[in-house]
């Protein structure tokens, strides 16, 4: 069985257990023991990364939960500001920071350890500079939301919340660079510990600032900023003092100011890849407000998006694992192991997707009660969960394949694939089904399913057609060209 056939098998609807990877992922020169070793490596990385993703996601959720006790207007403003911050700030920083998965991961695989610190400093420099215009946008969030047709009173509340969140964006930029720096070294437990401690502390900070300081919902926004900085400073201190980073962090260097165009060449497509997907989901919620009975449709679409984001934390962790394993192995000059890593990750995510879909379908009649007591909402959420389960399955597959693209440094092609999947197919089909054929919110989510399927298909074809030997050569050229430039500066 060649690579095309094995990948087609992995992408079929039938889940492929990890124990059967040897039968579906036959790669010349690799035996069952090597496949088991690869699976263990990925699971050891995936656990902490999933925890980090969940805990980071909980920071915003906890803040909104506290604000929910202040009244409907405060909750609406905080929710709108949180969504605005995600779309206009956090998603861009996550995307741009993902370029470090290529640079740091391949440098680590090539044993060019000192370059990891240089790449991280360069990433921080770029992301902090980008954060300045983003902070200006957040400072004017209220006016922007009114311009976009949102309710003036809610927009004003959201604007005040967003202004108090401005310090968060700079901390988030630093955190993203440090997490990629550690992740590509397979050093993920400290990230989990730092984020866990931050989340626990965040509950106390939120309670104090929301209920005791008199700041109200602005206290929740300020609590976000404090917690993000606590997490950032924890990672900064760890990297500077930990023996595990003594070879990869050798202090600040002027080398970080050089090679910025090369960083941008990957970081901008990385940001486009991610934001195209996130913006399309947010667009579905906005479009739901134009449907008949917009209050019901918007509420259910928001619940659906929240549920989708929550269960996506597992595939997101596997995406990070795939990126790390592929970049490390390409940097080390082992194309067959990089290809094996993709096959194993696909097997894991297909299995997870099948199990998660089954749980959502079986629990669809009760999940809605976590958000509402209204029978109409609960029933509608139950119907939507069937569509969410399907979208989650394909979302997991595309997340692993996206990790493969990032690990090999082909973000530009991935950005074009996402553009076609979401904006040429998914969203137009969603609008057609929702507004022309009157499927309502279900039609909008069907469009998302089409987009995810086409995204997964496009990335799968790209992965199948990959010349892994060529990718090793490109990784070697990328690693040694940056090292040569740095050595020239030092000499």
246 and 275 both lie in a single domain: no
Last residue of a domain, which of 232, 257, 282?
Answer: 257
Query: Tens-digit pLDDT profile for the chain (491 aa)?
Result: 443 444 344 334 444 443 333 334 444 556 788 889 999 999 999 999 999 999 988 888 888 888 877 877 887 788 888 888 988 899 999 999 999 999 999 999 999 999 999 999 999 999 999 999 999 999 999 999 888 877 888 889 889 999 999 999 999 999 999 999 999 999 999 999 999 999 999 999 999 998 888 888 889 999 999 999 999 999 999 999 999 999 999 988 888 898 899 999 999 999 998 888 888 888 887 788 788 888 788 788 888 888 888 899 999 999 999 999 999 999 999 999 999 999 999 999 999 999 999 999 999 999 988 877 888 888 999 999 999 999 999 999 999 999 999 999 999 999 999 999 999 999 999 999 999 998 988 999 999 999 999 999 999 999 999 999 999 999 999 888 766 555 555 55
Measured at the alpha carbon of residue 402, what is the angle toward residues 61 and 429, in degrees to the nearest 5? 80
The predicted structure's pLDDT at residue 486: 59
The predicted structure's pLDDT at residue 487: 58
Q: Which residues of 151-188 are buried (b: 16+ CB within 10 A; e: fewer)?
A: eeebbbbbbbbbbbbbbbbbbbbbbbbbbbbbbbbbbb
Cα torsion 300, 305, 306, 310: sign = positive
322 and 252 both lie in a single domain: no
Instruction: Enumerate residues 6+ apart whose C-beta is below 8 A from 13.
Output: none
**Does residue 122 belong to any structural domain of this protein?**
yes
325 and 458 both lie in a single domain: yes
**Does residue 262 belong to any structural domain of this protein?**
no
The first and second tokens of residue 330, run together, are: 């390409």
176 and 252 both lie in a single domain: yes
The predicted structure's pLDDT at residue 465: 93
Stated pTM of the model:
0.86
Q: How many domains does the chain have?
A: 2
Which range of residues forms the domain containing residue 289?
A: 270-481
The predicted structure's pLDDT at residue 20: 38
Residue 347 φ/ψ, nearest 5 degrees: -60, -45
The predicted structure's pLDDT at residue 371: 78
**Does residue 314 belong to any structural domain of this protein?**
yes
232 and 88 both lie in a single domain: yes
Other Cβ atoms within 10 Å of 363 Cβ, number? 12
């Amino acid at each position: 069985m060649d690579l095309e056939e094995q990948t087609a098998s992995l992408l079929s609807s039938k889940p492929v257990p990890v124990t059967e990877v040897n039968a579906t992922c036959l790669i010349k020169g690799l035996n069952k023991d090597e496949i088991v070793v690869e699976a263990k490596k990925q699971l050891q990385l995936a656990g902490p990364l999933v925890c980090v993703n969940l805990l980071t996601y909980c920071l915003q959720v906890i803040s909104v939960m506290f604000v929910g006790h202040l009244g409907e207007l405060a909750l609406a403003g905080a929710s709108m500001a949180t969504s605005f911050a995600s779309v206009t700030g956090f998603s861009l920083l996550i995307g741009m920071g993902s370029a470090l998965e290529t640079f740091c991961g391949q440098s680590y695989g090539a044993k060019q350890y000192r370059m990891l610190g240089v790449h991280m400093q360069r990433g921080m420099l770029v992301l902090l500079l980008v954060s300045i215009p983003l902070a200006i946008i957040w400072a004017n969030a209220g006016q922007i939301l009114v311009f976009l047709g949102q309710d003036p009173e809610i927009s004003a509340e959201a604007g005040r919340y967003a202004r108090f969140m401005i310090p968060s964006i700079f901390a988030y930029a630093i955190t993203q660079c440090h997490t990629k720096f550690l992740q590509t070294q397979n050093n993920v437990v400290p990230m989990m510990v730092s984020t866990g401690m931050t989340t626990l502390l965040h509950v106390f900070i939120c309670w104090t600032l929301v209920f005791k300081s008199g700041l109200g919902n602005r206290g929740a926004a300020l609590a976000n900023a404090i917690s993000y900085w606590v997490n950032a400073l924890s990672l900064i201190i760890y990297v500077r003092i930990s023996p595990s980073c003594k070879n990869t962090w050798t202090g600040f260097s002027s080398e970080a100011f050089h090679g910025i165009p090369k960083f941008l060449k990957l970081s901008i497509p990385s940001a486009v890849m991610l934001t195209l997907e996130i913006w399309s989901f947010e667009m579905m919620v906005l479009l739901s407000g134009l449907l008949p009975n917009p209050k019901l449709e918007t509420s259910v679409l928001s619940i659906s998006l929240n549920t989708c984001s929550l269960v996506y934390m597992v595939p997101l962790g596997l995406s990070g694992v795939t990126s790390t394993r592929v970049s490390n192995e390409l940097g080390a000059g082992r194309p067959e192991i990089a290809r094996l890593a993709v096959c194993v990750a696909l097997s894991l995510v297909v299995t997870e997707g099948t199990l998660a879909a089954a749980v959502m379908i079986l629990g669809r009649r009760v999940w809605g009660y976590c958000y509402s007591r209204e029978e109409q909402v609960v029933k509608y959420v139950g119907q939507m969960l069937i569509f969410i389960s399907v979208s989650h399955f394909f979302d997991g597959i595309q997340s692993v394949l996206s990790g493969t693209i990032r690990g090999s440094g082909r973000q530009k092609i991935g950005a074009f694939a996402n553009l076609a999947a979401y904006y040429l197919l998914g969203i137009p089909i969603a609008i057609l089904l929702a507004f022309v054929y009157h499927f309502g919110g279900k039609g909008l989510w069907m469009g998302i399913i089409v987009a995810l399927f086409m995204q997964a298909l496009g990335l799968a074809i790209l992965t199948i057609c990959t010349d892994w030997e060529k990718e090793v050569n490109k990784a070697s050229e990328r690693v040694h060209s940056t090292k040569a430039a740095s050595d020239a500066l030092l000499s």
